[in-house]
Amino acid sequence: MTLKAGKPNRRNVYLAALTTALISLGGCGGDSDSSSDTSKPAIPDGDLTTPDPTPEPVTKALVIGIDGLMYDYIDQVDNPELNEPATPNFGRLTLSKAFAGGLLNTATHQASYSGPSWSSILTGTWTDRHGVTSNNSAAVAVDGIFSRLDQQDPTIQTGSFAAWTPINSGHMLKEMAYVSRRVDGASRPADESLDEFIANQLVNELEYEASPLRFIFTQLDEVDGAGHGCGWCATYENKLVETDAHLGRILDAIDHRERTLNEEWLVMVVSDHGHRPAGGHGGDTVVERTSVIGVNKPALFNEFFSTPAEPLPLSEDPEQNTLMGYPGITAVVPTVMTYLGYPPQLGDNFDSPSLVGDLGAYKLYSTVEQSQPDQANINLTWQNSGNASLRTIYRDDTLIAELSPMDTTYQDVLTKDMLGEGTHNLDYTVVSDVGSPVSSHARVSLAEPVSITDLLAERESLISFDNTTGAFSWVQAAASSPSFVAGPFNGANAVNLQRSNGYLSQAKDFTGVSQYSIGFRLRVNGNISGDPNVISNKNWASGYNKGFLVTVSGSKMKLNVGDGSSRADTSWTTFAKDEWVFVVASIDLNAKRVALYIQDSVNGLQSSVVSSGNVNSMASPLPLNIGEGGDGSYNTNKTLNFDMADLVTFNRALTEAEVRALANTTAPLGSL
């Protein structure tokens, strides 16, 4: 391989001047009389010249993101379900299983889409911090690796080569101000494939002798396209072979730089998600949530990279709990920062520790318990590496506890009098005397107790569904009338809805309505197929269509609102099936706020709050339907069996304290 010479830029002149200065300093005193220094051996032939010291190698890092790369295809274990092709260049790396999608049943949980995953990989945080919930090109709400490196060293130069352009143009758009070399897949020429173009651009950069880039992020995308097309199939396997060849060229260029330019490169390969057998991702199956981290310098990595943590008891699925014991994709940024000489500090608020260097506390997560609006308990849980002798707990930058190294839990009791009324976003950090800090984000709302009587007096409508459908009419399919079943409280019934029997419909005009809240008790029975509507006034064929809906898929729920040209979606939020849950969908277009609240016995009160962005209306020409979309046909041939009681509406957005008060009632709302 021949390295290409080029015209030096400002960064190269700076490095050349610095190197010259170091060499000059290293040679000082070389002409002194060595005969007076008996500690030095005599130099043959009277040559008193001291050899110039070899400067320390420059550390550099390359993260290669491969969209949709499945761990099972490239690991050392032969999986009989897969036709695994030879991938010799992946074999040049040491691999660890990893996980995407956040921690189940916590606020970190996110869909296994590319947008949230690449945001996690490039910020070291989950969705509860970075705020990205889908492939909507929304910019991250926290600092990414490019701006963090600039904060540490404003002279550092970085590169971002992304085949999937929305990484650079959307999710990391604000970071591009700190990127010296940007390459987008959208700029590829017609005679090159997407990944070929990105790989060629990267290899050219690496072969350029004077390249000033100290950190490079690269993302390849074609494997994911094959996964969407047919899942675990020959097309995917062929694309994997092509990707392996691209990887080989990149690793060869890195090896050559290390041999010839006094550089030491950390290379990390990471995927954003896996794929279902038939193709696709975005859900919570183990194969969708399984990622991989591969590295070229395994000797630098701590025990967490080679040995997973104990399974996390966060779900009822042992396989999921085991997967969450592996490193998360959020480990990439703190690992790169540590390798480059900028180890994480208190206040960085990374969800994972560095995989390079000593390991302290890890696998930290938080849960919120709150039965009263003016008090909440934040429960912290973590695992210990056994290397630390001291552990401290911080709430934001305030030290709140000093614990023994054996402790693995802590409860922080918060009150309205302590923090004040309102919603508080808190970062809890466990700091050990070895290893990097690890953080967990908690959100809590504190307020005066809410009067249910006063709140219900403000309602627009209330339908109990206790042997009645109120203002809704029955749209018949197989059944001439709706069925009623035992409700959440003794002595009161609820309506049962299955699309094969029919659905409920009400002509309701939302023209000019900018604030609205709908609350209801819901029990989803059994399995769900597709993403059917629970309550909707829109055609769910597109989230951009006019109107809003609450939809469910698997064991998750979300709220969508669109106005025909823009859309806003909360994150998919886990809920408990086969039991009663309380749901509130709250839309405030004046404040640009869309919120979905869910309370159940498993997860407590959860909230997903997003900006409504450019959405300016929730109206549509369609009716408001329950058990079907506004179009009247979307749920056909989809499986959804649910019961509903206590549908209450308000002509304003509800606060979290008001939602909690409604959810905690122990009798039908009509009786209150």
Whether 540 contacts 629, CB under 8 Å: yes
Of the listed ranges 292-296, 308-312, 404-408, the one predicted with least confidence: 404-408
216 falls within a domain: no
Kindly state whether residue 48 falls inside one of the protein's structural domains: no
Residues 536, 588 contacting (CB under 8 angstroms): no
Name residues whose C-beta falls within 8 Å of residue 422's C-beta, 6 or more positions apart in sequence.
445, 446, 447
Which among 112, 173, 109, 103 is positioned nearest to 138, based on CA atoms?
A: 173
Examine residue 112 and state whether it is found in any structural domain, yes or no. Answer: yes
Q: Of residues 79 and 159, which shows the higher confidence score?
A: 159
Q: What is the mean pLDDT of residues 15-36?
A: 35
Q: Is the dihedral of CA 251, 256, 261, 263 positive or negative?
A: positive
CATH label of the domain that carries residue 313 = 3.40.720.10
Tally of domains within the chain:
3
Which of 311, 345, 379 lies at the terminal end of a domain, its last residue?
345
Q: Residue 8 pLDDT > 90, yes or no?
A: no
Measured CA distances, 91 to 75, 78, 251 (Å): 8, 14, 11
**What is the full DSSP assignment across 116-152?**
HHHHHHHHS--HHHH---SSS-PPPSS--HHHHHHHH
Q: Look at residue 12 and tell me if it is in a domain.
A: no
- In-domain check, residue 118: yes
Q: Assess if residue 387 is contained within a domain.
A: yes
Amino acid identity, position 42:
A
The Cα 383–Cα 401 span in angstroms is: 17
Q: What is the mean pLDDT of residues 290-297?
A: 98
Are 388 and 253 in a shared domain? no
**pLDDT tier at 133, thresholds 50, 70, 90:** confident
- Helix crossing, 194-207 with 234-260: angle to 10°? 10
Place 49 in a pLDDT band, splitting at 50, 70 and 90: low
Boundary of a domain, candidates 408, 425, 446: 446
Residues 424 and 490 in one domain: no
| Burial label, 630 (beta-carbon count in 10 A; 0-12, 13-18, 19+) | buried
Last residue of a domain, one of 383, 412, 446: 446
- pLDDT band at residue 48 under the 50/70/90 scheme: low
Q: What is the C-alpha separation between 217 and 210, in angstroms, rounded?
A: 18
Q: Specify whether 417 is located in the same domain as 317.
A: no
Distance of CA 305 to the CA centre of its chain: 20
Which tens digit of pLDDT belongs to each residue from 300-312? 999 999 999 999 9
Q: What is d(CA 667, CA 672) in angstroms, rounded to the nearest whole number?
A: 7
Which is it for the CA torsion 341, 345, 347, 353, positive or negative? positive
Q: Answer yes or no: is 352 within a domain.
A: no
Is the CB of residue 19 less than 8 Å from the CB of residue 55?
yes
User: Which tokens belong to 108?
Assistant: 């970190």
Amino acid at 149: L
Is 458 in the same domain as 394? no
Q: Are residues 644 and 662 in the same domain?
A: yes
Q: Are residues 439 and 528 in the same domain?
A: no
- Scanning 513-564, the segments in alpha helix (DSSP H) are none
Does pLDDT of 206 surpass 70?
yes
- Give yes or no for residue 44 having a pLDDT over 80: no
Asked if residue 280 and residue 131 are part of one domain, the reply reads: yes
Q: Specify whether 478 is located in the same domain as 409.
A: no
Domain with 426, as residue range(s), is 366-446
Q: Any idea how long the chain is?
A: 672
431 & 529 share domain:
no
Rounded average pLDDT over 29-52: 43
Q: Are residues 384 and 476 in the same domain?
A: no
Residues 373 and 475 in one domain: no
Answer yes or no: do 430 and 458 share one domain. Answer: no
Q: How confident is the model at residue 445 (pLDDT cuts 50, 70, 90)?
A: confident
Say how far apart CA 372 and CA 44 lie, in whole Å: 85
- Domain containing residue 562: CATH number: 2.60.120.200
pLDDT attached to residue 23: 36
What is the domain-level CATH number for residue 441? Answer: 2.60.40.10
CA dist., res. 496 & res. 641, Å (int): 7
Flag whether 278 is in a domain. Answer: yes
Rounded to the nearest integer, the mean pLDDT of the chain is 92
Q: Is the model's pLDDT at 25 over the cut of 50?
A: no
